[in-house]
Chains A and B, each alone.
Chain A
Amino acid sequence: MPSLIRLLAKRLGTSLIVLIGVSLLIFAIARVIPGDPARIALGPNATAEAIAALRDRLHLDQSFLTQYGYFLADLVRGDLGTSLYTNRPVTSDIAQFLPATLELVIIAGLMMVAFGLPLGILSARHRGTFIDHAIRMVTLLGVSAPGFVWAVILMLVFAYFLPLFPIAGRISDSFTIPPVSGFLLIDTLLAGNIRAFGNAAWHIVLPAFALALSGIGQAARLVRSNMVETYDKPYIEMAQSYGFAEKRIARRYAFRPSLIPSLTIIGLDFAAMLGNAFLVEAVFAWPGLSRYGVAVILRKDLNAIVGTVLIMSALFLIVNIVVDLLVSIINPRIRLSQRAS
């Protein structure tokens, strides 16, 4: 499919421009917020000489553009600088914390699709009936509160009052899993430790579900409303006039065309989870990049802030590209117009 490759190339090109813009912006914002990073890093008892030395090492006394130039030069070498908070290269911090966040967000995203789409389809197929009303009520509840509120509620109910799930963390301390990918669900399997895998899966259920709830509600409601609208299209009546089975009509004539507008929004919701994960991670003491991000912002750890935001933006863009590709696969209009242009 050369048209898809062209689409991909185009999107990658624009994404690069967006990333440069984001880096400039966050680079500037990080420097505008009040406070001297060198002073914060070295503490209140540091001597003026020590602070001046650190400022010099960080090029903080140079012009903004020079600083950005140093940053870019390092970036192309894959170096995001050193974190003043952890005293380690920002890249190794990210490599350590990112997999936990990705794992959480991916599981939440899967939950969103696995629960949201079927609920929406069910609701649309039985529109106007009790099933529809019940689903709409429940999903409204899902979208009506942000993820961190659900996180607290779920934790209280299912980990504290009913101790069905662990309160916090990624895995019980009794397991030692050699990190390979950083994804515990994968590493435990690689280690051949099924019990550890079960334990990690058991830990991720509540935080992922809390993160996914509003997405599930959003996806279900979106799929329902788009599908109900599609049910009024002439091709539905045409399909009925030919006596196609209701299930087939629901799947191929109502759901599939209605998925095109739904998918874009679901993709955005998925990407938004990267941000929402900040608070959910905080509630569940989930050792992910989001928690790291909050910590470094509070300490005005310039390199770490820029690195974290840059990685998050890149992930956001990647998700969007994937969604665009999926949309163009199910929407022949886009696929074919790519070929024509």
Chain B
Amino acid sequence: MSAPTLKIEDLKLAFKTHRGLIEVLHGISLHIRKGERVALVGESGSGKSVTARIVLGLLQQMKTARIAGKLEFEGRELDRLSRRDRHQLRGTKMSMIFQDPTSSLNPTYTIGVQFREVLDRAKPGISAADARLKAVEALADVSIHEPERVLDSYAFQLSGGMNQRVMIAMALANNPSLLLADEPGTALDVTVQAQTLRLMSTLAEKHHTAVLFISHNLGVVREFADRVYVIYQGNIVEQGPTGALFDNPRHPYTRALLAAVPRITGGGIPDIAETTDDFFAPLAAHAGFSEKELLA
């Protein structure tokens, strides 16, 4: 079997503060194979987003961040790459989609100008005409009917859903092998979010792009992920295939998380403890879905 697109082994992260080190990730391991859609689920502050930023190499620039562990991308150990080679991967082989599409676009340039900057990463010196042609194509792929008009617009002139499509189109324009989706569209309303996520999912499939979904939204995860990792306070507490994990949650924290989903039938949100000792129970992997078995 070929090397997984992304393999994280025993990743640890701590921030140095004036009160000493604060540990954020206590050694998490996960992997994603080519074209796979994997979700990393947890509450805010659990360490989901920092994981994505470490993969991209964004957190490494922070002077206070202490990072340990092994990151492999398509079989290459990322920390062994030269700075330049590692930088080269960003925006070409891996790209990211952010929470709030409208504020993630530069307000002083048109979509078209920014699209060209993105395409320029994979094809340095791409001409304006070529870039425009490719951008129009990419926007058509995310079902934008007037790509020309959108390219000449500024982010603040477009709706949130439209900007989200633009972000998806940009993220996939260079055919990356890995797409990191950090709470994609959380800032959008639910129907628009579902629409754009479906688009992202089918498009990722078409490009054979592996997706790491980072989310606290279990409904989204259930619909779009093949496999799920549940993260709690910097530890992976449960992992398994989406269906089995939702039908038969093993770890106390996962059960609490699933119980916290509000039901349309009413009854309010169940009372669950902020934190109990149970939540720190060791990792529960579903049969055949531990890192060891999956990577064998």
Task: List residues of chain A with CB under 8 Å of any chain B CB.
Answer: 233-235, 237-244, 248, 252-253, 256-257, 260, 330-333, 336
Contact A235 B106, CB 8 Å, known A240-B58, A336-B154: yes
Whether a CB of chain A sits under 8 angstroms from the CB of B9 is no
Cα distance A242–B110 when bound, in Å? 17
The reply to whether B92 and A243 form a contact with Cβ atoms under 8 Å apart is yes
The reply to whether A332 and B108 form a contact with Cβ atoms under 8 Å apart is yes
* Residues of the B chain whose Cβ atoms lie less than 8 Å from the Cβ of A237: 58, 98, 104
Contact A238 B154, CB 8 Å, known A243-B88, A257-B108: no
When C-beta atoms are compared, the residue in chain B nearest to A238 turns out to be: B104
The reply to whether A332 and B107 form a contact with Cβ atoms under 8 Å apart is yes
Q: Tell me if A's interface is mostly helix, strand, loop or mixed.
A: helix
The 6 A-B residue pairs with the shortest CB-CB distance in the complex, in nearest-first order: A243-B90, A242-B91, A243-B91, A241-B96, A234-B104, A238-B104
One of A239, A242, A244, A331 near B108 (C-beta < 8 A): A331
Contact A241 B107, CB 8 Å, known A234-B100, A333-B156: no
Given A241-B98, A336-B154, 17 additional A-B pairs, CB 8 A: A234-B99, A237-B98, A238-B104, A241-B96, A242-B91, A242-B95, A242-B117, A244-B91, A244-B121, A252-B106, A253-B106, A257-B107, A257-B108, A260-B108, A332-B107, A333-B156, A336-B157
From residue B252, how far is it (CB to closest CB) to chain A in Å? Answer: 34
The reply to whether A257 and B90 form a contact with Cβ atoms under 8 Å apart is no
* Residues of the A chain whose Cβ atoms lie less than 8 Å from the Cβ of B98: 234, 237-238, 241
The reply to whether A234 and B103 form a contact with Cβ atoms under 8 Å apart is yes
* Residues of the B chain whose Cβ atoms lie less than 8 Å from the Cβ of A256: 108
Cα distance A256–B117 when bound, in Å? 16
B103, B107, B117, B157 — most chain A CB neighbours (10 Å) = B107
From residue B8, how far is it (CB to closest CB) to chain A in Å? Answer: 18
When C-beta atoms are compared, the residue in chain B nearest to A129 turns out to be: B63
Cα distance A119–B154 when bound, in Å? 30
Cα distance A332–B158 when bound, in Å? 13
* Residues of the A chain whose Cβ atoms lie less than 8 Å from the Cβ of B108: 252, 256-257, 260, 330-332
Cα distance A238–B89 when bound, in Å? 15
One of A241, A244, A260 near B56 (C-beta < 8 A): A241
The reply to whether B105 and A235 form a contact with Cβ atoms under 8 Å apart is yes
The reply to whether A243 and B109 form a contact with Cβ atoms under 8 Å apart is no
Cα distance A233–B104 when bound, in Å? 8
Whether a CB of chain A sits under 8 angstroms from the CB of B118 is yes
* Residues of the B chain whose Cβ atoms lie less than 8 Å from the Cβ of A260: 108
When C-beta atoms are compared, the residue in chain A nearest to B90 turns out to be: A243
Whether a CB of chain A sits under 8 angstroms from the CB of B149 is no
* Residues of the A chain whose Cβ atoms lie less than 8 Å from the Cβ of B118: 242
Cα distance A242–B88 when bound, in Å? 9
Whether a CB of chain A sits under 8 angstroms from the CB of B87 is yes
Number of interface residues of B (CB under 8 A): 27
* Residues of the A chain whose Cβ atoms lie less than 8 Å from the Cβ of B154: 332-333, 336
Cα distance A240–B61 when bound, in Å? 11
* Residues of the B chain whose Cβ atoms lie less than 8 Å from the Cβ of A239: 106
* Residues of the B chain whose Cβ atoms lie less than 8 Å from the Cβ of A240: 58, 90
Cα distance A107–B121 when bound, in Å? 41
From residue B271, how far is it (CB to closest CB) to chain A in Å? Answer: 35
From residue A209, how far is it (CB to closest CB) to chain B in Å? Answer: 32
The reply to whether B107 and A242 form a contact with Cβ atoms under 8 Å apart is no
Cα distance A257–B103 when bound, in Å? 12
* Residues of the B chain whose Cβ atoms lie less than 8 Å from the Cβ of A243: 87-92, 121
From residue B191, how far is it (CB to closest CB) to chain A in Å? Answer: 23
The reply to whether A238 and B105 form a contact with Cβ atoms under 8 Å apart is yes
Cα distance A209–B88 when bound, in Å? 45
From residue A188, how far is it (CB to closest CB) to chain B in Å? Answer: 40
When C-beta atoms are compared, the residue in chain B nearest to A335 turns out to be: B154
* Residues of the A chain whose Cβ atoms lie less than 8 Å from the Cβ of B91: 241-244
* Residues of the B chain whose Cβ atoms lie less than 8 Å from the Cβ of A336: 154, 157
The reply to whether B117 and A333 form a contact with Cβ atoms under 8 Å apart is no
From residue B128, how far is it (CB to closest CB) to chain A in Å? Answer: 16
Cα distance A248–B103 when bound, in Å? 19
From residue B142, how far is it (CB to closest CB) to chain A in Å? Answer: 17
Contact with A along B82-94 (1 / 0, CB 8 A): 0000011111100
Cα distance A253–B109 when bound, in Å? 9
The reply to whether A235 and B92 form a contact with Cβ atoms under 8 Å apart is no
* Residues of the B chain whose Cβ atoms lie less than 8 Å from the Cβ of A333: 107, 154, 156
The reply to whether B104 and A235 form a contact with Cβ atoms under 8 Å apart is yes
The reply to whether A241 and B103 form a contact with Cβ atoms under 8 Å apart is no
11 contacts between A and B (CB under 8 A): A234-B98, A234-B99, A241-B58, A241-B91, A241-B95, A242-B118, A243-B89, A243-B90, A252-B109, A330-B108, A331-B108
From residue B182, how far is it (CB to closest CB) to chain A in Å? Answer: 9
Cα distance A252–B117 when bound, in Å? 11
When C-beta atoms are compared, the residue in chain A nearest to B87 turns out to be: A243
Cα distance A235–B102 when bound, in Å? 9
Contact A233 B58, CB 8 Å, known A242-B121, A243-B88, A243-B92: no
* Residues of the B chain whose Cβ atoms lie less than 8 Å from the Cβ of A248: 117
When C-beta atoms are compared, the residue in chain B nearest to A239 turns out to be: B106
* Residues of the A chain whose Cβ atoms lie less than 8 Å from the Cβ of B100: 234
From residue B6, how far is it (CB to closest CB) to chain A in Å? Answer: 15
Contact A233 B90, CB 8 Å, known A256-B108, A332-B108: no
From residue A246, how far is it (CB to closest CB) to chain B in Å? Answer: 9
From residue A232, how far is it (CB to closest CB) to chain B in Å? Answer: 11
Cα distance A243–B95 when bound, in Å? 9
Cα distance A253–B106 when bound, in Å? 7
Cα distance A238–B118 when bound, in Å? 10
* Residues of the B chain whose Cβ atoms lie less than 8 Å from the Cβ of A233: 103
From residue A270, how far is it (CB to closest CB) to chain B in Å? Answer: 22
- Which residues of chain B in 2-56 are interfacial with respect to chain A, using CB atoms and an 8 Å cutoff? 56
* Residues of the A chain whose Cβ atoms lie less than 8 Å from the Cβ of B103: 233-235
When C-beta atoms are compared, the residue in chain B nearest to A246 turns out to be: B61
